[in-house]
Amino acid sequence: MNNLQANRRNFLLQVGGVAGAAWMNAQWPAIVAAAEHAHQAASAKTPTKFEVLTQEQARQVEAVAAQIIPTGETPGAQEAGVVYFIDRALKTFATGAVPAYEKGIARLNELTVANCPGTKHFADASAEQQEAVLGKLVAEQSGGGGYRWLGSGDAGDFFETIRVHTIWGFLADPSAGGNRDYAGWKAIGRDPEFTFSPPFGYYDKNYPGWQAAKTEAEKK
C-alpha cells in the first residue's frame, strides 16, 4: 500500500464508529480506483504517455512549473508530479485552456531563442535563464489573483493559467491527480493525516483550559 492509500485508509479507520467502518468497507474499492490512475501515473518511474501534451510540450510545462514552485530543500512542482496533473486537467476539466498552453509554450520558446543564443526550447535553458525568460513572459501578460477565492484556472492568459494549475497540482488533495506522495503538503508543513487532536501547534501547547475567572480578574 502506498502512502496515499495508507493515509486515506488511516483517515477512514480513525473516523471510527460502526458507521465509519461500514462505510469504509463499502466504499474502499471505489475510492482506491478513483485515486489509482492519477497516482500510478504520477509515481511511475517512466512517465506514462501524456494524453494532451506532446512530450516536447510536457518538457516545457514541467520546466515552467518548476520555476513557479522550484525544488529546494523541500520538494517542488517536479517532485509533486505537477506536469501529469496538468496533462490530465487539460484532458478533463480544463480542456478550454489547451489553446492558452499551446500559444504560451510557443511564445516561451520564442523568447528563449531571442534571449538565450543557441537554445531553442525553454526547458533546455539554464535555471537562471529560465527565470529571466519567464519573467519576460509574465511582464507581457496581465496580472490576476485575489484574496481567498481560487482562480478559475481557465484565464486566457497562459501564465495565470499555468500558475493556478501548478498550485493545484502541488497543493490540492492527491485525489485530484497531483501532490504526489503529499510532496506539496510536506513542503508547506501540512501534515497529510486527516484526523488531529490538540494541541495542534506551539501556542495551544500549554493552554491551561478556559478560565472564566480571568475575565473577572482583568476588570480590576
Partner 1 sequence: MTQTKVSYKPSDEVDFVIVGSGAAGGVLAKELSSNGFRVVVLEQGPYLKPEDFTHDEIKVFTQHLLTNDAKLQPNTFRKTPQDKARRQQGVMYGRCVGGSSVHFTANYWRFHEIDFVEHSKVGNIPGATLADWPITYGHLEPYYTKVEWEVGVSGLAGASPFDPPRSKPYPMPPLPVKGSGVVFERAAWKLGYHPFPAPMAILSQPRAGRDSCVCCGFCLGFGCEVGAKSSSLAAMIPVAEKTGRCEIRPNSYVSRVVVDKNGRATGVEYFDAKRNTHMQRAKAVILSANGAETPRLLLLSANSQFPDGLANSSGMVGKNLMPNSAAIALAVFEEPVNDYKGFAVSRVLHDFYELDHEKLGFYGGGGMDARFDATPASFAMGGLPPGTPRWGKQFKKALEQNFTRTFEIFCHGTSLPVEANGFSLDPDVKDAWGLPALRMTFRDHPDDLKLMAWMRERAMELLDAAGAKTKWSEPVGEQQFAVHLLGTCRMGNDPKTSVINADHRTHDVQNLFLCDGSSLVTSGRGQPTMTIQALAFRAADRITALAKSGQIQG
Give the one residue of 5, 9, 20, 141 binding partner 1; rule: CB under 8 A. Answer: 20
> Do 111 and 136 meet the contact criterion of CB atoms below 8 Å apart?
yes
Coil, strand or helix at 49: coil
Give the one residue of 14, 40, 48, 142 binding partner 1; rule: CB under 8 A. Answer: 14
Query: How many chain residues interact with partner 1 (CB under 8 A)?
Result: 66
Residue 204 found at the interface with partner 1 (CB under 8 A)? yes
Query: In the structure grid, which three cell numbers stand for residue 155, read together?
Result: 484565464
Residue 126 found at the interface with partner 1 (CB under 8 A)? no
Dihedral sign of CA atoms 75, 76, 82, 84 in order: negative
Residue 118 found at the interface with partner 1 (CB under 8 A)? no
Residue 137 found at the interface with partner 1 (CB under 8 A)? no
Residue 220, Cβ density class (10 Å: 0-12 exposed, 13-18 middle, ≥19 buried): exposed
CB of 105 to partner 1, least distance (A): 17
Q: Residues 45 to 84: which contact partner 1 by CB under 8 A?
A: 67-70, 72, 74, 76
Residue 17 found at the interface with partner 1 (CB under 8 A)? yes
Residue 90 found at the interface with partner 1 (CB under 8 A)? no
Phi/psi-derived region of residue 23, left when phi > 0, alpha when psi is between -120 and 50, beta in every other case: alpha
* Cα(171)–Cα(179) distance, integer angstroms: 6
* Options 52-60, 95-103, 108-116, 198-206: segment touching partner 1 (CB under 8 A): 198-206
